[in-house]
Structures are given as structure tokens and as C-alpha cells.
Amino acid sequence: MCGIVGIVGKANVNQDLYDALTVLQHRGQDAAGIVTFQDDRFFLRKDNGLVRDVFRTRHMMRLVGNVGIGHVRYPTAGSSSSAEAQPFYVNSPYGITLAHNGNLTNAEELARDIFRTDLRHVNTSSDSEVLLNIFAHELQKLGKLVPEKDDVFAAVKAVHKRVKGAYAVIAMITGYGIVAFRDPNGIRPACFGKRETAKGPEYMIASESVALSALGFELQRDIAPGEAVYVETDGSLHTQQCAENPKLNPCIFEYVYFARPDSIMDGISVYKARLRMGDHLAEKIHRLRPDHDIDVVMPIPDTSRTSAMQMALSLGVKYREGFIKNRYIGRTFIMPGQNQRKKSVRQKLNPIALEFRGKNVLLVDDSIVRGTTCREIVQMARDAGAKKVYFASAAPAVRYPNVYGIDMPSANELIAHGRTTEEVQELIGADWLVYQDLEDLVSCALEGNPNIEKFDCSVFDGDYVTGDVNDEYLQRLEAIRNDSSKSKREQELMMAQAPLDLHNDN
């Protein structure tokens, strides 16, 4: 999962891009990058780390220009090497930089085609660089000295025909403007907004609407599946549908976990959707255990807080904050290796013993992925004096890997894969475990936008909406994503980069 942003303004956009990336920091803490252009030259800064650490005053002073794009990353395809921080750049044609959120399911095939037929070299293992070269090649084929809007849209149409998977993209064509487009299924989010100034309108494109509102841009709308938005350097806005058969199938996990609650995605308030998740889960508890003995509901900070508050209200029991979060620890399911995740849970959360002592506690989390975090938290609640520890997941059981841009583990490392609810309950050490039903989760999101025909719920039901994910693909993915493979790649990366660190003066 990543965050992307692009701005065409009337003055330097470096500070706005920086501020937008800090708002989108929850979408990736591995690396950050900004690129701008002025006088037909581009200016790039990117590196591993948080936004606040990657950009210093000396970097910001060099990022001049009224047009630019930015990116925050956590690694899905590829590695966590700084060489794979985005935006990526190719010099031909025109000089194009690109930031991408998502995952291409035919990236390996495309990488071979790029070398054999497009005669282009890909320098990393990132599918984002593959996507950049596909777009650049299709634009170059048109042979125009000066690209016009129809040329840009023609290139996007060709990209849709070649590329499969999930992608929300912002690309900057040096000297001409920025183009943003979304995959024909609309799996990954993207929207655009407008801000009026004395010199004319400014436009901003971002992964989430909260980045627009934080900077004073008025949300215009979401980019439609398959649609492209092209904003020229003078502020002229052009849009066109570039896919032959677009369908809106947004990723439902955005509403469960990734998106900020103050965002609106595809017409759906994330906050309202999470409130409804709490209502539906409370209804299920009333149905299964009408005489429940829950004394208090507690969220696992932070994403589950909205659902937990509504659950407590619907159940008619107390809501309490039982865990205090250290906000300087990253999201644990993204961290490589079980040992590191287990250690980070204790560093990340600290219980308030007075709230647990002698009580039957219902802990609420947004979802259960590996189960490592849940097991540690349940034990922490018992150590703090809880009489009984119940556990509720605002999402259904995660049984299948995500292939569209969320770096979930291989299927065998998902605690619910091939197991019943009772078996998971025993593994995490809870006295009772309750999951959200999938049909209830879908209705929670669908209520915000009844026009959506289908959500991508593949992590819950194994139904991959692009139709090109088979057992062979999932087996290859498992070989790449399992913890032992990740650990080996990280060790190789550290060995390869060690001599370089001695000369790094950035």
C-alpha cells in the first residue's frame, strides 16, 4: 500500500506536496519521494524513511517549480531498498516521473516484453518501474515532439490494454503537466480537487480526500475506474475514460484498515462505514450471546476505535481505552519477521491495569491477519488482571493473500487460513472470538454508495476481481512473501548496501 499525490499550482508546490505526504504517511512508512519541475528541468529527492526524515531544508529549497508529484511507500513488490523509493524516472520521451499505488499481476510478463519488444531496461524489481516504462513506451510510439492531451489519453488506453492488476498512478511529463489514471476495476483509490487562487485554479490529485481537505482543496470527485485526468502546466484540466469495460470494484480493506477515517472514498465515508461495522458486529453478539457477560469494550488502537465505540453503544456496556499506544512504532503486520512483530507489540501498546482488573473484557480490532499481535494483546490483558478476554474482529476472517497492493503474508502464514473460528480462538488464547460476517461488511460500505456493484473482498473470499489470479500465481507469490524469503532478501540487501553507507552524505 502506498500514498500518491500530484499538484499543478500557481507557485512553488514543494511545501504543499510535503504536507500532503505527511497526511498520507499512514499509507507507507518505508520511503518517501518528491519530484518537481521548473524551466524544463526536474528536481528529485527520495530516500528510505518517514517524510519528516527524508526531506530537510536543503532538499526543500532545491524542489522548485509549480508542478510536482510525491509518494510514500511500503514495499509490496520489490524490496525495501532506497533504490526502489518512488517516484521513478525515465528520460525518454520528454522526461517522465511516476508514482504508483497498487500491484501489477502480470509484472513478470511485462518486464520481459519491455526488454524484448520495447527495448527498454528496468533497473529494479519494482512493478512501478515496469508500469512507468510501459506508459513511456506507449507515449513515445506516437512520435510527437509536443504531446497533446489526446496523445496522453491514447497512451493511457494502451496501458490499460497491456497491464493487469491494481494501480492508481500519477505521472509527471516534464514541461507539460501531470496525468493520473486508475485501473479499470478501480481497486486502488484516487481522487482530485480544486483550489481557487488570485492567479487562477490549482489542482491536486491524491490517494485520499483527506489530503485535499487538509490543504484547502475542494474535492471534485473520485477518478473513475479506467479514467485519466490530465492537468497541463497552465492549469487546464482534461478528463477522459480510457478503458473499454470499466467496473467499480474498490478494495473493501481500505474501509476496514488502511484509509483514514476522515477520508471519503468512492462516495463512502470511511468513518461512517466503520460505525456501521460496529453496529453489525454488536447485532451478531446479541444474536449469538443474548445473555453476554461483557463488562467493557476496548479498542486496539487506532483503526478499530470507531467500530469499538459504536459496539459499546449498541451493546449497552462501558467503553474504555485500555491500551495506550506508542505512536512512534509502525504498523505491526507490515513489519518483517514474527519475532520483530511480537517484540514490537509490547513496545507499541501498554495496558492500563485498572481498566482490566477483575473484568470481562471485549477487545476489538479491525482485523486479524497473522494473529501474532492478537495473541500478545490477549496475554497482555490477562496479565493486567482481566477475568475473561473476548476478542472481536470488525472484519471477517482473512484467509487469502492480497495480490493488489497490500503486503499481506503468504496464505500459510495467515492464522485463519484453513482453520475454523474456534481453532483461531484457541490459538490467540481468547475465551471467545467473533468475526464480522462478510455480507455485513459489504453492506456497511455499500450503504455509503449503493451504485457499487461489487467490492474486491479477495482476502476474505478468495475471489480476485481481475480474473487472472490462479493457483500457480498464488504459489509464486507465497514463495516470495513468506517470512523466511523476506528475511533472506533483507540480509542480502544489508550486505550489498553496507559499503555504500560509509559514503552516504545525504
How far is the C-alpha of 127 from the C-alpha of 308, rounded, in Å?
A: 37
Per the DSSP assignment, residues forming a β-bridge with 433 are 391
Please give the annotated binding residues, written as ranges.
303, 365-366
Residue 93: cis peptide before it, omega within 30 degrees of 0: yes
Three-state secondary-structure class, residue 444: helix
Neighbours of 241 (CB within 10 A): 15
Residue closest to 223 by CA, chosen among 187, 195, 188, 182: 182
Helices (H), 371-504: 372-383, 421-428, 438-446, 458-461, 471-481, 483-501
Length of the chain as a residue count = 506
Provide the edge-to-edge strand list for the sheet that holds 165-173.
88-90, 96-104, 165-173, 177-182, 227-232, 237-241
Place of cell 469494550: 297
DSSP result, 190-227:
-EEEEEEETTEEEEEEESSHHHHHHTTPEEEEEPPTTE
How far is the C-alpha of 279 from the C-alpha of 444, rounded, in Å?
A: 9
Please give the annotated binding residues for Mg(2+), written as ranges.
303, 365-366
Q: Which helix (H) or strand (E) holds 231?
A: strand 227-232
Residue 374 annotated as catalytic:
no
Longest alpha-carbon distance in the chain: 75
Lookup: cell for 97 = 516521473
DSSP result, 338-398:
HHHHHHHHHHHEEE-HHHHTT-EEEEEES--SSSHHHHHHHHHHHHTT-SEEEEEESS---
Residue closest to 188 by CA, chosen among 127, 250, 268, 118: 250
Number of H helices, E strands in the chain: 18, 22
Lookup: cell for 131 = 508500469
CA 474 to chain CA centroid, Å, is 20
**Cα torsion 337, 342, 343, 346: sign:** positive
How far is the C-alpha of 19 from the C-alpha of 89, rounded, in Å?
A: 23
Residues marked as catalytic: 2
